[in-house]
Amino acid sequence: MIATSECATVGGRFKTTEELWAAAIRFCDWLNTCGGLSYDPYDIWGTRYGRWARRLYYQKNPAGILMTAPLIAMEMICPQLRGIFVEKGRFPTADAQLALAWLNLYEAQQKEAKRAGTANARLGRASHPWLDQARSLAADLLRQSVPGYKGFCWGYPFDWQNVNGLMPKGTPHITATPYCYEVFARLFDLTGELQYLEVMRSIMAFVYGDLKDTPTADDAAASSYTPHDNGKVVNASAYRAFLLFDAAQRFQNSAFRAKAESNLQFILHSQQADGSWLYAVDNPAEAFIDHFHTCFVLKNLYKINRYLESAEVRNAVERGYAWYRKALFDRQNNPKSYAVAPRLQIVRLEMYNIAETISLGVLLKAEIPEAFELAETLAARLIGEYQLPAGHWVTRIYLGGIRHTVPFLRWPQAQLFLALTNLLVAVASASDESN
């Protein structure tokens, strides 16, 4: 076990990897106590009362404001009261991101052990616990897959009332499934075991065959969010395009590539003159721009361009990041949730945004060094200011400095752990290259 160390930084960034490892281990110790179960920020909204309140709110019924107010107040003042109404559960997105984080720890450990010339130098163990943890979560993910579709797929285990209507629990969608795909892809790449490759094939049967395409131009089409809608959500198309490009290369499938190209063109056509993307196209109710959905678009475009090496895609990422950096941060370099804040904005700092900023910065390290520097700065802040003695992180901070500390795994604990380990692998890789 690694001893906990103080956060030592230079210019707000890390001097060594020790504080990264220490923070990760503290979180792992806490995670072992919770057993992978947690409440969720949307669980209370999935109750009968919560669905009704949100439906009225989205319909702009004055009663909607009155009915949502008690739940918002509970979330701010005493979020643990939700335990009266809902139970803790497992969330596929969280399990997938935790598995990816375990694999990051395994990779970082192997890099450090290789550099030191010793096996398992950091943990002093004969086995590989991080890899074993990832394997276990991958097996759990298969059990959580939604039945009734062409392949493995995942969604939310709660009813989700949104501006377009009700998404019943168990509806698979394209923003949860890609993280599960990446778990099996990395396990296959690390182990070469064909069982993981076959799971990937099955996932792609869902991604290719069950999701819908809505043409938006001769060469472009938007991907649906679920098998049951015809939406034009930009980050949904970005996730799908990335999976299709990845699978097209792995399986030498030209049909995957053709569909990926049309989804990519929709994303490129949707970029506005200033470099930004609306959450969705042709839907006034979803014509907003927020922080983490912008990150989703940018990170998937970057990953897509690992295959394409396209100047057009690179330019879209650079323009998008320049706008993102200008419009979605405050003067202290804290992420802002919205480019144009809603009339009622009570959250001062959403930790999910910090997680996505760090992960995006790690991806963009080679092409936009400033993005990586920002990731280091925010990670140092995450460890020094927002990691609690129990090992998990603050969930969000409201106006007035009220701290929400109930740890939701799906939002943002798993994302923060993954972001921190993404950075750890990047730092370990840089150290490896310098030796």
Average pLDDT, the chain: 92
CA distance 28 to 127: 17
In 3-state terms, the chain is what percent helix, strand and coil (to 5)? 60, 10, 30
Map residue 87 onto helix, strand or coil. coil
pLDDT of residue 114: 78
Asked if 424 contacts 20 with a C-beta cutoff of 8 angstroms, the reply is yes
pLDDT of residue 343: 59
Q: Kindly tell me the burial class for residue 86, based on how many C-beta atoms sit within 10 Å of its own C-beta (0-12, 13-18, 19 or more).
A: middle
Q: Which residues contact 214 (CB under 8 A, 6 or more apart)?
A: 221, 222, 224, 230, 231, 232
- Report helix angle 414-434 to 92-116, nearest 10: 20
Among the listed residues 228, 224, 239, 256, the one whose alpha carbon sits nearest the alpha carbon of residue 148: 228
Q: Which amino acid is at 412?
A: P
Question: Alpha carbon of 51 to those of 15, 46, 56, 160, 309: distances in Å?
Answer: 48, 6, 9, 8, 44
Domain edges within the chain: 45-85
| Both tokens assigned to 412 | 């943002």
Instruction: Please compute the mean of the pLDDT values over residues 34-41 and round it to a whole number.
Output: 93
Single pTM value for the model: 0.93
Please write the tens of the pLDDT for every residue from 177-193.
Answer: 999 999 999 999 999 99
Please write the tens of the pLDDT for every residue from 206-219.
Answer: 999 999 999 999 99
Q: Which residue has the higher pLDDT, 400 or 235?
A: 235
CA distance 378 to 12: 8
Please write the tens of the pLDDT for every residue from 145-203.
Answer: 999 999 999 999 999 998 889 999 999 999 999 999 999 999 999 999 999 999 999 99
Q: Is the pLDDT of residue 434 over 70?
A: no
Sign of CA dihedral 51, 53, 57, 59: positive
